[in-house]
Amino acid sequence: MARLDKLARDFKACTGPHPFRDFERMILAMGYEVVESGKTSGSRRKYCHKDTKHLLMLDEPHNGEMGLGMVRRLRKQLEEGGAL
């Protein structure tokens, strides 16, 4: 659980680029699952929380780093969904 806490703390405090793989590890540990068609066309990804059915849809960044705008949007969505 300490790893999840660290990932969540880093994501909440992020003020610049954030590694997509760390974000994905974090949400999977929080109970999100890749939706069957989660890897749709190209870089589109869908994740759904097992219990709350909260849905996250995003485009995986091609360089592996999420920009600050994407981090802010996803942080807001996770707060609204009760995950953060």
Of 9, 14, 7, 19, the C-alpha closest to 72 is 14
Determine the pLDDT at residue 65: 93
Condensed to tens digits (0 to 9), the pLDDT of residues 48-70 reads: 999 999 999 888 888 989 999 99
Number of structural domains in the chain:
1
Q: Which residues of 44-73 are buried (b: 16+ CB within 10 A; e: fewer)?
A: ebbbbbeeeebebebeebeeeebeeebbee
Determine the pLDDT at residue 84: 83
Full domain range(s) for residue 49: 2-80
Condensed to tens digits (0 to 9), the pLDDT of residues 10-40 reads: 888 888 889 999 999 999 999 999 987 645 5
